Chains A and B, each alone.
Chain A
Amino acid sequence: MDAQLEIQLIAAVVAIACAIPGVFLVLRKMALISDAISHSILPGIVIGFFITEDLNSPLLILLAAVTGVITVVMVESIQKTGLVKEDTAIGLVFPALFSIGVILIAKNANDVHLDVDAVLLGELAFAPFDRLIIGETDVGPKSLWVMGAILSITVGMLFAFFKELKVSTFDAGLSAALGFSPVVLHYGLMTISSVTVVGAFEAVGAVLVVALMIAPAATAYLLTSDLKKMLVLSVIFGVFSAIGGYWMAHFLDASIAGSMTTVLGLVFLAVYLFAPSKGLIAVMYRQRQQRTEVSLLTFLLHLNNHEEESERHVKHLNEHINWQKVRSETVLELAEKNNLIKIDKEIVALTPKGKEFTDLALEYIITNKDEHIEHMKDDFFLFRG
């Protein structure tokens, strides 16, 4: 296998391994824990490196992962004292631990083959040179094996505990009542996240691990509300940006991890803007439509309340209900198109259908039951041309 292909393979495996726990972190509103873990494992890695002298040693990964879990415990115990809020607790713990790591590296620069750039960016480009040799045969890059092992553990756990994870993510109370301890699942997830972060750390660095965990999940979350689909989508986004990022870095002659993140960012931006029902444009459009709907209701109620012609003159609408001209025109047009009103010599009057609609709307406003209005919109074919 040539080096290019190997790098892409490693990148893709890292992306998948990060995306899976990332989905649960995003859904559990703990996305920033990944940021905290990825920073605070640094002292664990440095100390582990002093002991094992090998970045890919399982012992080092274990040590660093323990540091990650310790971080979570520290954050939670600071939070429990009630001295500061949760986010402040996170913000206090990880910079301190990260600083210790950076200082340890700086003080032992001669002994540690880690430099600060590698900490932030990883060294994916060099990953194929560190090979795993069993007996005499070269079986491939070490980091591929390490990440592959982590990925298979993650996937195994995911299949084994999918139901439990799902329940405890969406309803911790129910999960506890059913007998799956949310605490055990919580720490299990934290452990898996820590191990993944440590494994991915070498490839993509401290900050970009966060991108690989959160961004695919967040992108998928904008497109679906189904957990299984979300998992699949985020894996697809992760792999796509891993491979896209590699080629972008290739052409720009820049950091692979940096361009992977950039591709992730572009994918997220596109989905953020154009996602069918949850994207920015869709939301803005829906909000405008709802505004018009409410205006229409107000307008119809106004007509219903006033018999006198002066109040129902087209010209008076702007003034009376205090709308801008454009909006009153939209509303008027919409109402007429739906046969709710008729305009006779610039005097507006309700049609029988309009009267019926208004009465129903009044009932809705009085009882304020949500299903009424949805049902009404369908009944009267509003906004259907």
Chain B
Amino acid sequence: MELSEYFSQLFSDYTLRTITMGTAILGAICGMLGSFAVLRKQSLLGDAISHAALPGIAIAFLITGTKDTNVLLLGALVSGLIGTFWIRGMVTKTHLKSDTALGLVLSLFFGFGMLLLTFIQKQPNANQAGLDKYLFGQAATLVEKDVTLMAVVTGICLIIMLLFWKEFKILLFDADYTKTLGFNTRFIDILITFFIVLAIVLGLQTVGVVLMSAMLLAPAAAARQWTNKLSVMIVLAAIFGAFSGVFGTAISASQNNLSTGPVIVLVASVFVLFSFIFSPGRGVLFKQLRKYQNRRDLELQKTLQFMFDIAKTHERISHPHAIKILNNFQGYTKSTLKELEEKEWVKVKGQSWSLTEKGYDAAANLYNNN
């Protein structure tokens, strides 16, 4: 299927519509909650949680024997939460640092999950095939029920976020202050973490445990570059997330044997890369341009200062001087002289220059204004 074909069928084909809806909603909720994860410096918590969810899926299957998504995701939720609280326990109760704790939970839970998965695969009776779609995700397996679940959870999430907006925001930026104001920080903290775990678990079917963390981080990291306002960042992250979901699904649906997870992650990474480079406020490109501009301004000011020092010693400000005397001076280039002329601070006549009245005043106040 070609990419254009995908979009033309989007509105007529039921399956495609369901899948697209699903990934769009998923991207949006991940972007929203990912903003909190990124700002709380818990970016890699998502990685650990998503890996930690794997044994939960396998155990849920072993206990119930069904492949019902909701049951499996419930198992994932439980084991994800256990992983999260174990990480906290390790960091607070022992001297292991958070990176070690994250790495431990991530790899140990995942290894245990893989043990269970291979164990299940060797069982003779079960209809076990298909559990490994949780590794890299397969959006094609989304059905309407899953999408409804996602939509409901996203709705609840939104309501809770609006209800606790003030608390979430203040906790993000100043946890100690929040405590002194009398908020129950522990409760708010657990609430945010719970929703992050929930978002991760929801995405397992589409993106898979291995790459889910990027789904959480990338839209938020991209959105962060465009704004300094929390609400704008969350909205932007949701939009970026939704777009990466839709584009990723479209691309992976139009190719053979491509899992959705990696494609969505790559699309989201492109968003990040674009934002890193082209965001006007923080982007690398404009930062570099501004740096260049600042350097030019400084050179200009240095030249002007030098001219001012010469002009000061003469009776008439407009007394002409040779351009030659500027040559050995590091701030001087032809273009700075031209710029000075354009600002009408300097008059150039043949091989000599003279400071204007305006230029003299500007130079005298050079260090007073800024």
Contact = CB atoms under 8 A, between A and B. Distances in A.
Contacts of B93: 280, 283-284
B112 A120 contact: no
24 contacts: A29-B100, A88-B41, A88-B43, A91-B43, A92-B218, A95-B213, A98-B210, A99-B262, A99-B263, A103-B263, A116-B136, A207-B111, A208-B114, A214-B104, A218-B100, A221-B96, A221-B100, A222-B94, A253-B122, A258-B117, A259-B115, A261-B110, A268-B108, A278-B95
B115 A252 contact: yes
Interface string B179-222: 00000000000000000000000000000001101100110010
A376 interface: no
Top 6 A-B pairs, shortest CB-CB distance: A261-B111, A258-B115, A95-B214, A211-B107, A99-B262, A265-B108
A39 B218 CA distance: 17
Among B107, B135, B211, B284, the most chain A Cβ lie within 10 Å of the Cβ of B107
B214 A96 contact: yes
B266 A264 contact: no
A155 B104 CA distance: 24
B100 A252 contact: no
Given A32-B103, A35-B106, A95-B211, A254 B115 contact: yes
Dominant secondary structure of chain A at its interface with chain B: helix
B258 interface: yes
Nearest to B120: A254
Interface string A99-123: 1101100110100000011001100
A207 B214 contact: no
A22 B53 CA distance: 24
A81 interface: yes
Contacts of B225: 83
Nearest to B122: A253
B114 A210 contact: no
B46 interface: yes
A214 B282 CA distance: 35
A35 B135 contact: no
Nearest to B217: A91
Interface of B: 38, 41-44, 46-47, 51, 89-90, 93-97, 99-100, 102-104, 106-119, 122, 132, 135-136, 210-211, 213-214, 217-218, 221, 224-225, 255, 257-259, 261-263, 265-266, 269, 272, 276, 282, 284
A114 B56 CA distance: 27
Given A85-B43, A222-B94, A255 B112 contact: no
A252 B111 contact: no
A257 B221 contact: no
Dominant secondary structure of chain B at its interface with chain A: helix
Given A84-B38, A121-B114, A222 B89 contact: no
Given A121-B114, A255-B117, A257-B114, 16 more contacts: A31-B102, A32-B44, A91-B43, A95-B218, A98-B210, A99-B211, A102-B262, A121-B118, A210-B106, A214-B100, A215-B107, A254-B122, A261-B108, A261-B112, A262-B111, A278-B95
Contacts of A211: 104, 107-108, 110-111
Contacts of B89: 280
A99 B99 contact: no
Contacts of A341: none
B114 A272 contact: no
A195 B135 CA distance: 26
Contacts of B44: 32, 87, 90-91
A88 B89 CA distance: 22
Given A84-B221, A221-B96, A268-B104, A255 B114 contact: yes
Contacts of B114: 120-121, 207-208, 255, 257-258, 261
A248 B284 CA distance: 52
Among B104, B113, B213, the most chain A Cβ lie within 10 Å of the Cβ of B104
A76 B258 CA distance: 31
A34 B103 contact: yes
A194 B89 CA distance: 30
Contacts of B221: 83-84, 88, 92
